[in-house]
Amino acid sequence: MRDGLVAGLVAYTLWGILPIYFKLVESVSSTEVLLHRIIWAIPFGALIIHLRRQWPDVAEALKHRQMMLWLTLTAVLIAVNWYVYIVAIQTDRIFQASLGYYINPLIFVVAGVFMFGEKLRGMQTAAVVLAAIGVLVLTFSGGEFPVISLFLGTSFTIYGVVRKRVVIGAMPGLFIETLVLVPVALIWLGWMFGNGQAEFGYAGPGITGLLLLAGPITVVPLLMFAIAAKRLSLTTVGFMQFLAPTLQFGTGIYFGEALTLPRLICFACIWIAVVLFSIDAVRKQNRVRARGL
């Protein structure tokens, strides 16, 4: 459990401070940053797969036609999600990115209602209503419809729902997703080099080195999350997932984004919703344990 907690903290902390990385490569176009994230995830991911002896899982998935179709779909979904997130950070909309990952668990709950016929419990309903109120306040009082937040939260929910249909581990799954994307990424990056639009290798060793790090910053948090998910309860992991958007919110303040009153009200509603959501999760786990006894 201790190892799981450490791994979980590392994963969500790295995801939480990810905006700092994208700010450091702000001079590079969002498209090129995305392409490097895909390309350099391959060698680093292959190393992790080798060390964890998961090549049989990868080989089995590559032979499975239906699994590959699902993983191709999730590859497109995660690539689009990554791109919008990078754009959000590089265009000074970190608060919107943070909001997107705060509301993501609530969107998962709503998706469960509409897609799987699940019923909302009392506190879940209150949490969803509060989140909706926060978004409406930001839209009508702040004049800022959080399209990036809703896109990030919704696209990651769809990704998660589809990914649940694929019986494969987190690391082999990510490796195959990037493997699917890498031919397009290489061709696109080659075109950028041919047209003098690429920064890699031309913007100095600092930027080039940072772009090489796009692979580790993608793979390491997921590896840590996979370790945490195996050793911790879902409730504990659920609590920890709010660490990432909280740290992102902090980076937004650090980089000088304006915390206007409508934004503050919106986040206050979201934070209360998170508390209610977490209390409900703990109560559910306690009831499950009681029945188990």
Q: How many residues does the chain have?
A: 293
- Give the predicted TM-score (pTM) of the model: 0.88
Q: What's residue 235's pLDDT?
A: 67
Per-residue exposure over 174-208, b if at least 16 CB sit within 10 Å of its own CB, e if not: bbbbbbbbbeebeebbeebeeeeebbbeeeeeebe
Residues 115-143 have pLDDT tens digits of 777 787 888 888 888 888 988 888 887 78
Cα separation of 257 and 255, whole Å?
6
- Cα angle value 145/157/271 (rounded, 5°): 55
CA distance 118 to 130: 20
How much of the chain is helix, strand and coil, in % rounded to 5? Answer: 80, 0, 20
Percent of the chain with pLDDT over 70: 97
Tell which phi-psi region holds residue 168, choosing left (phi > 0), alpha (psi between -120 and 50) or beta: beta
Averaged pLDDT, 256-284: 87
Structure tokens given for 281: 């999760």
CA distance readout (Å), 218 to 8, 43, 45, 70, 88: 15, 12, 9, 21, 17
Cβ proximity of 2 and 227 under 8 Å: no
- Averaged pLDDT of the chain: 88
Q: Does the structure show a pLDDT above 80 at 288?
A: no
Q: What are phi and psi of 54, to 5 degrees?
A: -110, 15
Q: What is the pLDDT of residues 35-58, one digit of tens each?
A: 999 999 999 999 999 999 999 999
Condensed to tens digits (0 to 9), the pLDDT of residues 242-262 reads: 888 999 999 999 999 988 898
